Amino acid sequence: MSTERATETDEQIVDAFAAHLDLERGRSEHTVRAYRREAAALLAHLREVERIAPAELDVTALRSWLGARAETGAGASTLARSAAAARTFTTWLAATGRIPHDVGGRLRAPRRGRHLPAVLTDEQAGSLLDGIVTEPAPRRSDAPAPGADADSEDAAPARGGTPTPGATAGEGTAAGGAPAEERSEVDPVQRAVQLRDAAVLELLYSSGLRVSELVALDLGGIDMAQGTVRVRGKGDKERIVPVGVPALEALRRWETEGRPVLAGATAAGRGTAQAPGNGRAGTSAARRAKAPGRALFLGVRGGRLGDRAVRTLVDRYAARAGIARHVTPHTLRHSAATHLVEGGADLRSVQDFLGHSSLATTQIYTHVSAERLRSTVEQAHPRA
């Protein structure tokens, strides 16, 4: 090991590792952030508990760290993710000469128990998607005019309160002007938000996208003629996914009628939302591609819509549709896959649809379908 490497601080090591994941491996921002956190925790354990330098890392120290995580109450899934991050970290440490050899290959985490994802029924999905009003409507006399603070949409709670229908959290604060009872004209910003929300929900369910894939979409990512969306998923892998007719219509209306309204917010001087990120993982092409001007989905200030805002609007519309459970964008992804399997789609096609690298990951949806069938039989069959 060089003298320069020997004097590296833990923070410098973690920064270099994160840059490798971002710039060389093309990992998602979420993965970079999670692996950075795990690497920093491992190095802190080496210093504070094992009393050794990073260059002295061995499998015993790795197991000690994982054991400490388990003692704090971490479950099997969390430990499996920690072990995966540690193996990636030690591989990089060995490849860059920071440790003599890769010791992570011998690290094993507890086997994950089978966890069946929560999914919506066909009727619940229909209620959720059909419940968005996208036709022009006058401002209600008791509703504030939306459009004051776009970025606070990322911070408001999903459930609770009574936000203006169609407005994402934070999009309903009046910026001044005539009293509410004097405003009877159609609010273009509110309607644009409704059109956006309809397109977001339809696309999440129709194409089974991850929320990170959806917010990263740029103009031109939807091929209206072919009825497909070009997605860049985990590991920077690209796939082309079909888009259903209702989703295409919602997207067409958003792009032609709604998006120009919110895009004009930047020109009107409301500011531009920053792309998500902590600013420490490098400036890869994937990060530069997140420039707000190219974004398909926008917030009310004209910046790229964030994943937290999408989670908020999904759960809020689900509550409005009378769905009691907590609903996330991933619930819609799970539901789309389950409904495909129940409809007779083969697992290989569903694997390609979801962008899974392993068919074993996709097979969980056969178990979900079987459990749903079992529940139906137990409730309906007279001799179940």
Residues forming the active site: 210, 234, 330, 333, 356, 365
Nearest to 144 by CA among 166, 164, 159: 164
For 107, list phi and psi in degrees, rounded to 5: -85, 125
Q: List CB contacts of 319: < 8 A, sequence separation 6 or more.
A: 158, 159
Tally of helices (H runs) and strands (E runs) in the chain:
16, 3
Query: CA 265, 193, 134 angle in degrees (round to 5)?
Result: 135
Q: List CB contacts of 180: < 8 A, sequence separation 6 or more.
A: 139, 140, 141, 142, 143, 144, 145, 174
Both tokens of 218, joined, read: 């740029």
Distance separating alpha carbons of residues 265 and 276, to the nearest angstrom = 19
Bridge partners for 250 per DSSP: none
Residue type, 252: R
Name the 3-class secondary structure at 182.
helix
Distance separating alpha carbons of residues 189 and 20, to the nearest angstrom = 41
Q: HEC profile for 5-40?
A: HHCCCHHHHHHHHHHHHHHHCCCCHHHHHHHHHHHH
Q: List CB contacts of 207: < 8 A, sequence separation 6 or more.
A: 229, 231, 241, 242, 243, 244, 247, 336, 353
Distance separating alpha carbons of residues 37 and 175, to the nearest angstrom = 40
Distance separating alpha carbons of residues 60 and 107, to the nearest angstrom = 9
